[in-house]
Structure 1
Amino acid sequence: MHIIAVGLNYRTAPVEVREKFTFAERELPDALKALMGTKSIMECVIVATCNRTELYAVVDRHQLCGHYIRSFMEKWFKLPREHFTNHLYMYEDEAAIRHLFKVTSGLDSMVIGETQILGQVKSAFLQAQDMKTTGTVFNMLFKQAVTMAKRAHSETMIGESAVSVSYAAVELGKQIFGHFNRKTVMIIGAGETGELTAKHLYANGAERILVVNRTFERAAQIADKFGGKPLSLEEAIQKLPETDIIISSTGSEGYVLNRSQVAEAMKRRKSKPLFMIDIAVPRDLDPSIAAVENVFLYDIDDLEGIVESNLEQRRQEAAKIDVMIAEEMAQFEQWYKTLGVVPLIRALQTKAADIHDETMNSLSNKLPDLSERELKVIRKLTKSMINQMMQDPILRIKEMAGEKRAEEAMDIFVKLFALEELAESQQQAGNYPAQAAEPSNAASAKPVHKQAGAPAFART
């Protein structure tokens, strides 16, 4: 088996590319089913946020998995692969696991150390688990990654500085206007990002906050927290002429505001500037709005680097988290290496139990006068003897599974105890097999952006 991660993010693809590869929330169950049905994939999780789309998978043929996953993306998004291949990255085994740990702890985020991604990865994993697209490996790996990220944020100061995408949007507004006093601010979208944006604006002196949302009740909840006013989208369009700053972060699949609506509003603003920030993916604001005179439009990619002064401390704390990640990876590696001995141990236990049952049946036939109590005592004692005899071999094979010659040790273990048939039946019953044979034409496949270096634990 191999663990891989394939995706694109804010580093490898601009927003106009990323927005073509987003999964609507209602689509994710079907997408997980389709990805799980892709050849060679044994487990899968899809992590989709405004800054990244990543497909995690346990595969049995890593040489061809890049091809299979690109084919899935090509079919799902209805785009030829030449339109996105250059934006993809692919990590295998150790590199894929390290990448997941960095993502959950916020070290791979646009704003280093942000915590929102942790909840997003956890939700993605739980949804995949509900859809039964995870199994032995990912159930362990993702739980460990989430737990490690929580510990990283509690034991370091990585999250002390108030930086996030919403914070960066507010900082950009301050650079343009200097302050928010006597400014009318419109927030479109009342999700988590919208609420954080309202919080930062309120803390920075915004006196009039308009909250726009498809669900009016949700807009009212956010507006009440910050002394704002809830609006429907239709009401918001009417309020455009008196709005100075617009920050939009909805999950809409189309533009919330177009050029003609903004151009009409600007006629009534009498040349007063309008500052607009689009932090949604796909974008909420028609990019052609930027051509309207006195309108200053920014998208999520423009925010990178705005909070640079607040990130130095987080970078120092990130070094501490890197050490934590290395420790967690070592623990997972040890568990992963011993995974392959599970079918062997269960096979040995099954064989011992069968021998014990046969012996007790024979004893009952040969000594029919034994009482039920006597049989019970004998059964207990003989079972204890067998368990004690198996204890050391099981302990040793677990230890040897983590060594360099693990595969040879497991082969010897199988031959010594004549477990060939039982071990095979245990694997077929649901335990992962040893390394799957590679197809003869595997060498011809070239995974995209493959990370250099042999994986530390490609075999179970």
Structure 2
Amino acid sequence: MHLLALSLNYKKVPIELREKLAFAESELAAAMATLKESQSVFENVILSTCNRTEIYAVVDQTKRGEDYLKRFLANWFHLSITTFSGYLDVYQELEVANYLFRVTCGLESLIVGEEQILSQVKSSFLFAQENQATGSVLNTLFKSAITLSKKAHTETLLSRNSVSVGSAAVQLTKNIWSDLSDKKAAVIGAGQMSELSAKYIAAQKIAGLTISNRTYEKAQKLAEHYHAEAVKLTELEKLLTEVDFAFSSTSSKSFILNESLVRIVQAKRDNKPLILFDLAVPRDIEPSVRDITGVKLYDIDDLERLVKFNKSERQKAEKEVEKMILKATDEFKNWLSAQQVTPIIAELQEKSMQIQEKVMETIDHKLTDLSVHDRKVINKLTKSIVNQLLREPILTVKSLATDENSPEKLTLFKQIFNLSEDQKR
């Protein structure tokens, strides 16, 4: 019995290939059933998100299991193994536990510390359980990962400090309005920074998001991806009268939002609060805009100061979580090791009780005049003797589970007590 994980994730795999390797939700049950039916795979969980496709499995042999999982992916997605093998990360044994703990805690996420991955891991695991694709090993591993992630996010500041300019801007907005569900936002521009801003905003489940760009087709494309609306840059004045906060990040050489335009907008808004984030260099928004009643303007330097502080706090939190992961991995190692000796202990106990039963049969034949009460007393006493004799060997074999020379010493233990060499998994 061996642990194995295959990962194709955003760190290495371009989105064009990730799209081809993503499991549709409707296919997951059939995919896990196909894996379970193989002779090599005993347990499996498939985790498929926009950033990763991963298979966690318990297999009979590491090399054979890895080869089988690669063939499975190739056959399922109608690709050659060489198409994705160069991007593949493979984890074995305790590496699997450590990696899953990192994934579930958000340390392997695009936005480090984000909590969405926890719900994705949990959903994938529960779905695998419902479809009887898991067993005792993956059940224990995934439950440990989920518990660890909750603890990491509760006891550290891992997910509470933004470490990118876009996420810091969203954090500032949430500091002003704790509930964004009734707020509307605009993103001006359609470049990389604008796309990140749209991603952070869309994750907040706000009332509405609109993308505006000089090239309308680019605005439309970005809007479609985040289920937003698109408007032309010429409609900027009208757009700003309808939103509560806006992000601007264009490549314009002059101000997109000057003081006179924003004053007109605020007059139409009756000076209701308007938060503006200027993420562009050179700046998109005239600095004097911050003097207008009801307007809060943050530029890239304002946000960088927050990010610098948050990075320091985040690094501290990551170190704390790393320690938690090492401890959880060690605990899982001990649990996994104990599983090796469980069949040995069970066989030793069964063999010992069979001897006790034979002794009782002999007593029944030789002491035929024993009363029912006397027989019960003798039966109880002989079982007690057996249990007391087994106490030390059982404690010894449990300690051997975590010994660095465990395989050799367990083999010797089985030979001493004449136990079978091949234990059922």
Q: TM-score, normalised to structure 1's length?
A: 0.64
1:160 maps onto 2:160 in alignment: yes
Report what 1:209 is aligned to: 208
Q: Give the distance between the partners of 1:387 and 1:164, measured in 2 at CA.
A: 62
One-letter code of the match for 2:324?
A: M
1:399 counterpart residue number: 399
Q: Does 1:133 align with 2:126?
A: no
Structure of larger gyration radius = 2
Q: Deviations over 1:126-146 (max 9, x none)?
A: 221222222222122111111
Q: Is 1:113 the equivalent of 2:83?
A: no
Deviation at 1:161, TM superposition (A): 2.3
Task: Verify the 8 A CA contact 2:170 2:200 in the aligned structure 1.
Answer: no
For the 8 Å contact 1:44–1:58, the answer to whether it is kept is yes
| Unmatched runs of 5 consecutive residues or more in structure 1 | 174-179, 186-193, 203-207, 212-239, 251-255, 274-305, 433-460
For 1:414, the equivalent position in structure 2 comes to 414
CA distance in 1, matches of 2:107, 2:118: 11
Query: Greater RCO between the two (CA within 8 Å, min separation 6)?
Result: 1
C-alpha deviation, 1:407, in angstroms: 1.7
In 2, Cα distance between equivalents of 1:15 and 1:169 = 26
Q: 1:201 to 1:67 in 2, by over 3 A?
A: closer
- The 3-state SS of whatever aligns with 1:102 is helix
> What is the alpha-carbon root mean square deviation over aligned residues?
3.8
Shift in alpha-carbon separation, 1:53–1:199, aligned structure 2, 3 A: closer
For each residue in 1:208-267, what CA deviation from the matched residue of structure 2 results, as whole angstroms up to 9, or x when unmatched? 7279xxxxxxxxxxxxxxxxxxxxxxxxxxxx99x99965568xxxxx89xxxx9xx87x
Instruction: Indicate if the aligned counterparts of 1:8 and 1:54 stay in contact, CA closer than 8 A.
Output: yes
The count of residues paired between Structure 1 and Structure 2 equals: 334
The superposition leaves residues 265-292 of structure 1 with CA deviations (integer Å, 9 ceiling, x where unpaired) of: 87xx58558xxxxxxxxxxxxxxxxxxx
For residue 138 of structure 1, what is the amino acid of its counterpart?
L
Over 3 Å counting, the alpha-carbon distance change for 1:37 and 1:166 in structure 2 is farther
Matched letter for residue 327 of structure 1:
K
One-letter amino acid of the counterpart of residue 126, structure 1: L
Q: Contact conserved, 2:162 with 2:311, CA < 8 A, in 1?
A: no
| 1:165 to 1:81, Cα distance in 2 relative to 1, 3 A | farther
Asked if the contact 2:42–2:58 (Cα under 8 Å) also holds between the matched residues in 1, the reply is yes
What displacement does 1:313 show? Answer: 2.4
CA shift in 2, pair 1:106/1:2, >3 Å: same
| 1:84 Cα deviation after fit | 1.6
**Counterpart in the other structure of 2:37:** 37
Whether the aligned pair in 2 keeps the contact of 1:7 and 1:88 (CA below 8 Å) is yes
The one-letter amino acid of 2:375's match is: L
1:28 aligns with 2:9: no
Structure 2: tracts of 5 or more residues without a match: 174-181, 188-197, 211-215, 237-303
Q: Tell me how far 1:45 sits from its aligned partner.
A: 0.9
Partner of 2:269: none
* Aligned residue number for residue 253 of structure 2: none
- 1:328-379 Cα offsets, whole Å, 9 max, x none, are 1111112222221111111111111111112212212222222222211111
Q: Percent identity?
A: 37
1:378 aligns with 2:378: yes
Task: Compute the displacement of 1:165 (Å).
Answer: 12
Q: How does 1:48-447 map to 2 (within 5 A)?
A: 48-161=48-161, 167=167, 197=201, 200=204, 202=206, 209=208, 247=223, 269=232, 272=235, 310-420=310-420, 424=422, 427=423, 431-432=424-425
Distance 1:79 1:381, change over 3 A: same
What CA distance in whole angstroms lies between the structure 2 residues aligned with 1:182 and 1:126?
35
Quote the Cα distance in structure 2 between the aligned partners of 1:50 and 1:121: 13
The question of whether the paired residues in 2 share the 8 Å contact of 1:348 and 1:419 is answered with yes
Separation in 1 of the partners of 2:183 and 2:202?
Answer: 14
Equivalent residue number for residue 283 of structure 1: none
Q: 1:105, CA displacement in angstroms? A: 0.7
Classify 1:182/1:396 alpha carbon distance in 2 versus 1 (closer, same or farther; 3 Å): closer
Equivalent-residue separation in structure 1 for 2:16 and 2:331 (angstroms): 39
Deviation for aligned residue 1:197: 4.1
Alpha-carbon shift at residue 46 of structure 1 (Å)? 0.6
- Alignment check: 8 A CA contact 1:7 1:52 kept: yes
Alpha carbons of 1:270 and 1:198: their partners in 2 closer, same or farther (altered >3 Å)?
closer
Is the Cα–Cα contact under 8 Å of residues 202 and 209 in structure 2 kept in the other structure? no
- What one-letter code is carried by the residue in structure 2 that aligns with 1:389? L
SS at match of 1:341: helix
AA partner of residue 134 (structure 1): T
Per the normalisation by structure 2, the TM-score is 0.69
Q: Distance in 2 between matches of 1:336 and 1:161?
A: 35
CA–CA distance in structure 2, aligned partners of residues 123 and 157 of structure 1? 24
Residue type at the aligned position of 1:341: V
Secondary structure (helix, strand or coil) at the match of 1:87 reads coil
| Residues 1:347 and 1:320: Cα distance change in structure 2 (over 3 Å) | same
Counterparts in 2 of 1:270 and 1:167: CA distance versus 1, 3 Å: closer
In structure 2, the CA distance between the partners of 1:79 and 1:376, relative to structure 1 (3 Å rule), is same
- Say whether the 8 Å CA contact 1:345–1:394 is kept in structure 2: yes
Look up the equivalent residue of 2:407 and give its one-letter code: E
CA contact (8 A) 1:112 1:315 kept: no
